[in-house]
C-alpha cells in the first residue's frame, strides 16, 4: 500500500487506489484546508507532490484554473482533492503543504488586501 508523507509535519498516512490526498488527510485529522469541500472550486487544498507525482492523473483544465489562484505554485503543484491514487504501489509519496496557502473563503477578501 502506498504511503503519503507530509514532509514538514513528518506525518505518514496510508493511501489506497481510488482515494485522494485530501480525504486521507481529513480522515486522519490532518488539518488540510479545503474551503470548497473537495469539488475543485477553490485553491486552498494546494499541495506540492515532491515524490510520486506520476501516480496521480494529469490535472484537468478546471484544476489548472484553480491553481492559477494559488500562491507559490510550481511544477509539482496539485489540488489535494483532485489527486486520486491510480495504481497500487509501495512507494512513499512526498507531500509539501505550501506555507503561503491562500484561503479567501476563510479569511475574506479584506484579509487578502491587508496582506499586501
Ligand atoms: S478543496 Fe477546494 S479545490 Fe480542493
| E strands, 71-114, in order | 77-79, 92-96
Q: Residue 46 C-alpha to ligand 1 middle, in angstroms?
A: 8
- Tell me the whole-structure pTM to 2 decimals: 0.86
Q: Residue 66 C-alpha to ligand 1 middle, in angstroms?
A: 9
The whole-number pLDDT of residue 115 equals: 43
Tens-place pLDDT, residues 16-37: 999 999 999 999 998 899 999 9
Q: Residue 67 C-alpha to ligand 1 middle, in angstroms?
A: 10
Residue 19: C-alpha distances to residues 51, 57, 82 (Å): 17, 12, 10
Strand partners, 76: none
Collapsed DSSP state (helix, strand, coil) of residue 12: strand
Which candidate, 40, 38, 39, 42, places its Cα nearest to that of 27? 38
Q: Ligand 1: list residues with CB < 6 Å.
A: 22, 34-36, 38, 40-42, 44-45, 66, 79, 81
Segment 82-89 mean pLDDT: 96
Tens-place pLDDT, residues 25-81: 999 998 899 999 999 999 999 999 999 999 999 999 999 999 999 989 999 999 999
The whole-number pLDDT of residue 112 equals: 43
Non-local (6+) Cβ contacts of 101 within 8 A are 33, 44, 46, 70, 71
Q: In CATH terms, is domain 2-114 a member of 3.10.450.50?
A: no
Work out which ligand 1 atom sits closest to the CA atom of 33: 1
Work out which ligand 1 atom sits closest to the CA atom of 37: 1
Amino acid at each position: 500500500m502506498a504511503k503519503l508523507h507530509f514532509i514538514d509535519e513528518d506525518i505518514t498516512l496510508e493511501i489506497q487506489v481510488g482515494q485522494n490526498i485530501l480525504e486521507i488527510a481529513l480522515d486522519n485529522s490532518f488539518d488540510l484546508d479545503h474551503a470548497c469541500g473537495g469539488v475543485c472550486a477553490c485553491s486552498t487544498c494546494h499541495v506540492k507532490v515532491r515524490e510520486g507525482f506520476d501516480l496521480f492523473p494529469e490535472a484537468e483544465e478546471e484544476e489548472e484554473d484553480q491553481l492559477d489562484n494559488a500562491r507559490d505554485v510550481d511544477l509539482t503543484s496539485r489540488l489535494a482533492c483532485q489527486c486520486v491514487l491510480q495504481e497500487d504501489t509501495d512507494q512513499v509519496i512526498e507531500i509539501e503543504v505550501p506555507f503561503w496557502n491562500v484561503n479567501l473563503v476563510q479569511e475574506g477578501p479584506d484579509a487578502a488586501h491587508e496582506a499586501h
